[in-house]
Structure formats: structure tokens, C-alpha cells
Amino acid sequence: MTARLLSSTTSELYRRWRTGGDGEERPRCYSLRLALLVWLVLAAAVSVRTLVRPNSHTVFPVFAASAKHWWGDQPLYQDDPLLDNFRYPPVFTLFVTPFSALGLSAGGILWNWVSIAVYVAGLWWFVRDVIPSAWTQQRTGVFLILGALGALRGLWNAQSNALIVGLLLLGAAALARAASDRRPQVDSRAWWLAALLLAAPVCLKLTPLAAVLLLVVLWPRRLAWRLTIVSVGFFLLPFLTRPPGIVLDHYRDWFEHLLETGDSRWLGFRDGWTVWIVLRHVFGLADGISFREPIDTSWYRPLQLATAAAVLLWCLWQQRRASRLGLGPRWLIHGTLSMGLAWLMLFGPAVEHATYVFLAPPLIWAFLERRAWPHGQGLILAAFALIMILGWGAVSRLLPAWPILLTTLPAGTALFALWLIGYARTCGTRNVDRESCRRQTTIPLRNPVQMLGENRVIQ
């Protein structure tokens, strides 16, 4: 089913790029053509970089080595003087095995292509089935172009974040379809597909676990047990490939590695603790800025738990409001996923520059839909500028005398969360906003809508 989603998305993008519409006399959608061109250029650039420097500024050698260690019954989580440590679950090694077998150059290129394909498919279906907005095809093209900017940090060094985000977005889209479709003959299959696509990114990388759990809380009876079964199935897959004793050793090493590195921090971390470190330096409470300083205070862990509880209560409250006001499951899924990802960027584990690709899709949507909450346009414009423009590491390196620039990513995330709260509140207080908030966007796969210029919406 996932392969069919990716295939239909690719063919639809290509057909729209070729025709720009559904008739000879209709205006062509140049933004979709430009979006496809941008992604093709990015894929080509990443491929050339991989060919020229397959061992430099890329994490794919770490993934390839993990696959070799797996099949050679060697430890996965031991320190390697030549490579960075492997931190993923053992099941991840099975996923990267085909890429590892092709070598660092060919395997690295294919890995990047698959990551890009899954990420673009996730963006496409996110627009089609999740966002609570009626968009023109032109705006959809702009969304896809800005999505490339949001994912560039991780794609350039072959990180897995774009792949994981793509799977997460596909899972959210499948959940939106399952929650909206009341036909008994497809109800069970739709929920199983949603569980599969939501479990896959978590089992490959634990980063999106909090956001997925928030979605599960919305439909616990339909989703919780299915997600549990699928997740257990994923984690049992390694036992089909190696002796059980060796697999159990790998899982034990993985848990020990998580416990040992749970408090470790790296130079690239950009989360709520980063803000505290920088502000202490700015106000003269600490000498210098040490990003490797562990979290050693008694108040930050309770703050993480308190904010997590607040996000959970907010999402449950939005569920009640969505039911009372008829805003629809898509509006609820979009708001819950967006707030969960915002919390993840501020208080989640191991959040660095490249991790902010998780926040890119909802942030770009909010930027393009900033007029949905007129009084909050300044908030979302500031959030977009801080994350998508000033959040690049090159900016802080060019301006070392401005250490406050090191806080742009978490500060922008906080502004986005505030905007999201205001937007959600606005959707329930004015009838005109209520109608616009519950509009659903679907992009037809076989018969595209007849566009009548820029004002024609996709619905």
C-alpha cells in the first residue's frame, strides 16, 4: 500500500508538471512544475556530492557499517574511532541493508533518493488529506518548494530525518482518511494502514514517539492495540534474521546505550536547554557557552514533564471542541500533530539543527495560512524567519558576536506554538473562521480539478 501511495504521488506530480491542468485551454500550474524541478535539482546535487565525497560530511557510512556489523554478529553500539556512534534500534539495520550492499557511493545515492521520495510523498499527502485549508495548486507548489528548504539540512548529509518525517506524514494522512471514512468495508483496513505507517517511523527512530502517542490518545480504542501489534511485529523482525541470543544482546546493548547517552549533549543541539545556556551567558550568570554541558538542574526535567502534560491536555481539549463545533478529524489531527512536533523541538531528546525538518511541514502551512488568524500574523512571520532563515548554522558562525542567534530555532518554535494556540482558538470563536477551518483539501489522483486561475481551490 505504501508503494502504491509513493507511485501514485510521483505519477501525479509528473502528469501535472507535464500538463499543468486538465485541459488545453486552462491555465498551467507553473509552481508545481517549479517544485518538481527544485526537487530534481536537489536530488542531483546530493547525488553529485555523494559521488565526490562518499565518506565526508555524511552519516550514511555509519548506517552502512551497522548493517555489516549486524550480519557479521558484531556489536552495533560500540565506540568507533573512525565513525560516529550508531544510535538506532536494531530493526533499522535491516532497513539499510540493501543500501549498504551497494557500497557507499551507489548505496548512498539510492538512500538519498528514497529519503527524498518518501518525504515528498509525505508532503503531498499531507496537503491532500490533513491540512484544514482549501488550497490552489499554485499554493501547493509553493508548499513543496519551501519543504525542500526545510529538509535541506538533513538531506545534504544523508540523515534519516526526512525519511522518518515522510513516513510520519503518510501515517497522519492515513489516519485522517480512516477517521473520516465511515464505510464498514474499508474501516478496518484503513485503521491498520494508519497503524502501520505511524509505527514504522517510531520503530526506525524513536524521535517521533511523542507525536505519535498524542495521535493515539485521540482514538485509543481503534488505534492503540493496532499500533502495539504492528510495533511488536517490527521489533520481532530481527529475530527472523539472526540467532535469538545475538538479537537479544543487540537489544540489550541498545537499551544500555540509550541510558548511557540520555544526558549527553552535542554542539549542534538546539532545544529549550540551549536557550537556558545562552541566556545565562548573555546575562553574565555563566562564563562562556558550553553546549556539551549536561542537564544537571533539578527543574528542567519536571519542566519537560509539565509541558508534555499541558500539550496532552490541550490536545484533548481540542478534541472536545472539534466534536462540539464540527471542525472535523482532519483539523484535529493537524493541530495535534503540529503541537506535538513543536513540543518535540523544544523539550524532546537529541534535537539538533537537522531535526527541525519535523517542524517544517506544519510551520510552512502556518506561514502560507497566516491570514487565518489575522492578529497573529506577526507571530508566524517571526517564527518562520527565525527557523527557516536565521536558524541556519552558518548565520551564527558568521555573527559570533551575537550568541543570541543560537536560540533562533527554539525561540521560533515557541512562537509557532503560540500562533497555533491562537489559531485554534480563533477557529472556534467566529463562524466564518469555523467554516474555513473545517474545509478539507483533497488533490484528485485521476481527474484534477479544472483551474480557473489562482482563486480556484483544490477540493
Do 247 and 295 fall within a single domain?
no
Look up residue 132 and give its three cell numbers.
484544514
Of residues 79, 56, 77, 55, the one with CA closest to residue 66: 77
Q: Which residues contact 276 (CB under 8 A, 6 or more apart)?
A: 300
My answer on whether 269 and 295 are in the same domain is yes
53 found inside a domain: yes
Q: Residue 196 corresponds to which cell in the numbers above? A: 502501520
3-state secondary structure of 377: helix
Adjacent-strand bridge partners of 352: 269
What is the SS3 assignment for 441? coil
For the chain, how many structural domains are there in total?
Answer: 2
Distance separating alpha carbons of residues 268 and 71, to the nearest angstrom: 32
Neighbours of 229 (CB within 10 A): 14
What's the pLDDT score for residue 397? 79
Residues sharing a CB contact under 8 Å with residue 421, sequence separation 6 or more, in sequence order: 314
Angle of the 90-101 helix axis to the 60-71 helix axis, nearest 10: 100
The candidate with the shortest Cα–Cα distance to 277, out of 410, 91, 440, is 410
Q: Establish if 459 belongs to a structural domain.
A: no
Same domain? 114 vs 199: yes
Shortest CA distance to 179 belongs to which of 165, 193, 166?
Answer: 193
| pLDDT score, position 28 | 63
Contact in structure between 144 and 124 (CB atoms under 8 Å) = yes
Domain boundary among 256, 277, 296: 256
Question: Whole-structure pTM over 0.95, yes or no?
Answer: no
246, 305: one domain: no
**DSSP class of residue 295?**
-
**Could you give the count of Cα atoms lying within 13 Å of 310 in the half-sphere of its Cβ?**
11
Q: Of 240, 256, 272, which closes a domain?
A: 256
Report which of 289, 400, 371, 350 is spatially closest to residue 164, judged by C-alpha positions.
Answer: 350
Closest alpha carbon to 394 in 382, 405, 407, 383: 405
Q: Specify whether the CB–CB gap between 64 and 107 falls below 8 A.
A: yes
pLDDT at 10: 56
Residue with cell string 518548494: 145
Cell numbers for 300, please give them: 528542567
Instruction: List the one residue out of 114, 107, 104 whose CA is nearest residue 53.
Output: 104
User: Domain boundary residue among 207, 232, 256?
Assistant: 256
Query: What cell was used for 129?
Result: 488529506
Angle, nearest 10°, between helix axes 104-129 and 360-368? 40
Three-class secondary structure of residue 221 per DSSP: helix
Q: How many CA atoms lie within 13 A of 212 on its CB side?
A: 29
Say which residue the cell 556489536 belongs to. Answer: 75
> Residue type at 420?
L
Alpha-carbon span 101 to 450, nearest angstrom:
46
Does the residue 458 lie in any domain?
A: no
Asked whether residue 301 falls in the same domain as residue 397, the answer is yes
Is residue 288 assigned to a domain? yes
Rounded to 5°, the CA angle 219-221-227 comes to 80
pLDDT tens, residue order, the chain (459 aa)? 555 555 555 566 555 545 444 444 445 678 899 999 999 999 999 999 999 998 888 999 999 999 999 999 999 998 877 788 899 999 999 999 999 999 999 999 999 999 999 999 999 999 999 999 888 889 999 999 999 999 998 999 999 999 999 999 999 999 999 998 766 655 788 999 999 999 999 999 999 999 999 999 999 999 999 999 999 999 999 999 999 999 999 999 999 998 888 777 888 888 999 999 898 888 877 777 777 777 877 899 999 999 999 999 999 999 999 999 989 999 999 999 999 999 999 999 889 989 999 999 999 999 999 999 999 999 999 999 999 999 888 887 788 778 888 999 999 999 999 999 999 999 866 543 444 565 544 444 433 333 323 333 443
195 and 272, same domain (yes or no): no
Please report where in the chains the cell 548565520 appears, as a residue: 395
pLDDT at 432: 39
SS3 352: strand
Dist CA 283 CA 144 (whole Å): 41
DSSP type of residue 386 = I
**What end-to-end distance do the CA atoms of the chain give, in Å?**
23
266 shares its domain with 207: no
- Domain range holding 396? 262-443
Query: Looking at the domain assignment, is residue 251 inside a domain?
Result: yes
Closest to 226 (Cα-Cα) out of 196, 181, 187 = 196
Is 276 found in the same domain as 159? Answer: no
Indicate whether 68 belongs to any domain.
Answer: yes
* Residue 297 counted as domain residue: yes
Rounded Cα gap, residues 346 and 125, in angstroms:
26
Q: Are residues 252 and 279 in the same domain?
A: no
Same domain, 310 and 436: yes
Residue 275 lies in a domain: yes
Looking at the fold, whether 125 and 41 belong to one and the same domain comes out as yes
Residues 417, 341 share a domain: yes
**What is the per-residue DSSP string for 26-82?**
SPP-HHHHHHHHHHHHHHHHHHHHHHH-TTSS-SHHHHHHHHHHHHTT--SSS--SS
